[in-house]
Chains A and B, each alone.
Chain A
Amino acid sequence: MSRLYERLSTAVLEGDAEKSPKLVQRALDNGLGPKEILDNGLVPGMNEVGVRFKRGDMFVPEVLMSADAMKEGLELLRPYLAAAGAKLIGKIVMGTVKGDLHDIGKNLVGMMCEGAGFEVINLGFNVEPEKFVEAIKEHQPDIVGMSALLTTTMRSMGYAIKAIEEAGLRDQVKIMIGGAPVDAPFADRIGADGYGSNGPAGADLAKQFVGA
């Protein structure tokens, strides 16, 4: 059985979006538990992607392909996970803030978080502060992620955090930020809970937040 997990991890690592759902199906057919398939097959594959990306041995297009493979597998698995009452380790709402159209970095963080076992709700880019507020009300996430790639838009993150405070929702969520122009001191200054410098770092931070 462990051989099947290993093949599933490899399919994710190699970004094979056709093979990954097939292997998930085979694992299910073999009577393996959905949570085990996630934890022992899909997640280790995506973790390894994070490690290699961080090390400079994998590149953005490959990570995107791996994320795709992960997603295809997860989609098939999701109803089984729900039926089994298995809980994902947490829920994250994320978006690139108002005025900013860059979303590759934010998507990478999202994929890494999915790979780490989170449910991720991606609000896209140019997200108004009120949109973050609405999304928190609607989805009740544990974590909110914000991204900005421009020095001219990074202050929008502060406005979004303020809007969340004013809506009385600040204590419900941890807020993490990222993007080329920002850093940990900036996160402190605008009242975020943490800063992640890249996809894997963002996922690590999210795991810390939920104590996983």
Chain B
Amino acid sequence: MTANLTTILSSKTKQVEIYRSRPTVMIGERINPTGRKKVLAALQAGDFDIVRQDAISQVAAGAVVLDVNAGVPGADEPALLKKLMQMVMEVTDVPLCIDTADPEALAAALSVYEGKPLVNSVNGEERALSAVLPLVKEYGAAVIALCMDDDGIPETPEKRLAVAGKIIERAGKLGIPPEDVVVDPLALTMGAESNAGRIALETTALVVKEFGVNVTMGASNISFGLPDRKYINSTFIAMAIHAGLTCPITNPMVSEVMLAVLAADLAMGRDEYAMNWIKAYRARNKK
């Protein structure tokens, strides 16, 4: 087994270290208009209160990093992304995960960020590798590597591992160390493909064994189209943590998921004297 690498992210004032023997790092997913029509409408109307509130409440719920996505159709994405990030940085002090598919927006965001952000994301497509990795290197950021490439999303854990390896290698050639590559094995929808969960879990284990890198996942897709999603999501996230997931991108305000993460950390021996579990219990029962 390869040694577990440490990914360091930072804001102007705060540093977050991600590694496998510490409690799971929650990356809050909510500052994202995709699939959230209320957020989309607010942003289109120039109303940013919802972004500030989402930032504050996610951090209060346990997010240690915040994902920021400004994919509003028709908007000037570079400008909007910068604006959202500045807004989030005004009300919280956590490091940010810059979430965009547009290299121009990414460059704009990186140029104003103070600290070391996580870039979301690059994949194994030639076009993405050559557009995103040089920016990651230039600004000394870390980057999420999606296990897919020009041939689409591989169906087997072994092939996804190979894509992860390709991205890590390409990053290395530019001088980006493996600890700054966070792999996303891709958790697809189990309602459409019953093996989607198993493949993501097995890919996670393989990637950890082979490269020792940190692993992220958007862990809510998995339950799309099924009833009682929060129970699926919370069980899956606990299993993924056991497999090697260290920094999921998820909604910390869903208490079932948050509790599953805390319990999984405890079960993995990452919560000394169960202090996090007890603290969370007290916080819940104070209200």
Chain A residues proximal to chain B, CB less than 8 Å: 56, 59-61, 64, 99, 101, 104, 107, 149-155, 180-181, 183, 186, 189
Chain A residue nearest to B37 in the complex (CB): A183
B50 CB within 8 Å of chain A: no
Chain A residue nearest to B226 in the complex (CB): A59
Q: Are B33 and A104 in contact (CB under 8 A)?
A: no
> A45 → chain B, closest Cβ, in Å?
20
> A48 → chain B, closest Cβ, in Å?
18
Q: Are A60 and B192 in contact (CB under 8 A)?
A: yes
Q: Which single member of A64, A154, A180 contacts B73 (CB below 8 Å)?
A: A154
> A77 → chain B, closest Cβ, in Å?
26
Residues of chain A contacted by B72 (CB below 8 angstroms): 151
A151/B192 contact (C-beta < 8 A), A60-B226, A61-B226, A104-B225 known: no
Q: Are A151 and B33 in contact (CB under 8 A)?
A: yes
Residues of chain A contacted by B71 (CB below 8 angstroms): 150-152, 181
A152/B100 contact (C-beta < 8 A), A61-B225, A101-B153, A180-B35 known: yes
Q: Are B225 and A186 in contact (CB under 8 A)?
A: no
Q: Are A155 and B224 in contact (CB under 8 A)?
A: no
By DSSP majority rule, is chain B's interface helix, strand, loop, or mixed?
loop
Number of contacts between A and B (CB, 8 Å)?
61
**Bound-complex Cα distance A104 to B73 (A):** 22
Residues of chain A contacted by B192 (CB below 8 angstroms): 60-61, 64, 104, 107
**Bound-complex Cα distance A134 to B98 (A):** 37
Total interface residues on B, using CB and 8 Å?
24
Residues of chain A contacted by B35 (CB below 8 angstroms): 149, 180-181
B34 CB within 8 Å of chain A: yes
B274 CB within 8 Å of chain A: no
Residues of chain B contacted by A59 (CB below 8 angstroms): 191, 225-227
Q: Are B191 and A181 in contact (CB under 8 A)?
A: no
B189 CB within 8 Å of chain A: yes
> B196 → chain A, closest Cβ, in Å?
11
> B197 → chain A, closest Cβ, in Å?
13
Given A101-B148, A104-B225, A150-B101, 6 new contacts (CB under 8 A) = A60-B192, A61-B192, A61-B226, A99-B101, A180-B35, A186-B73
**Bound-complex Cα distance A142 to B233 (A):** 41
Chain B residue nearest to A148 in the complex (CB): B73
> A161 → chain B, closest Cβ, in Å?
14
Residues of chain B contacted by A186 (CB below 8 angstroms): 73
> A148 → chain B, closest Cβ, in Å?
9
Chain A residue nearest to B221 in the complex (CB): A102
Q: Which single member of A64, A99, A104, A180 contacts B34 (CB below 8 Å)?
A: A180
**Interface pairs (23), CB distance under 8 Å:** A56-B227, A60-B191, A61-B225, A99-B101, A101-B153, A104-B189, A104-B191, A104-B192, A107-B192, A149-B34, A149-B35, A150-B71, A150-B101, A151-B33, A151-B71, A151-B72, A151-B73, A152-B100, A152-B102, A155-B73, A180-B34, A181-B33, A189-B74
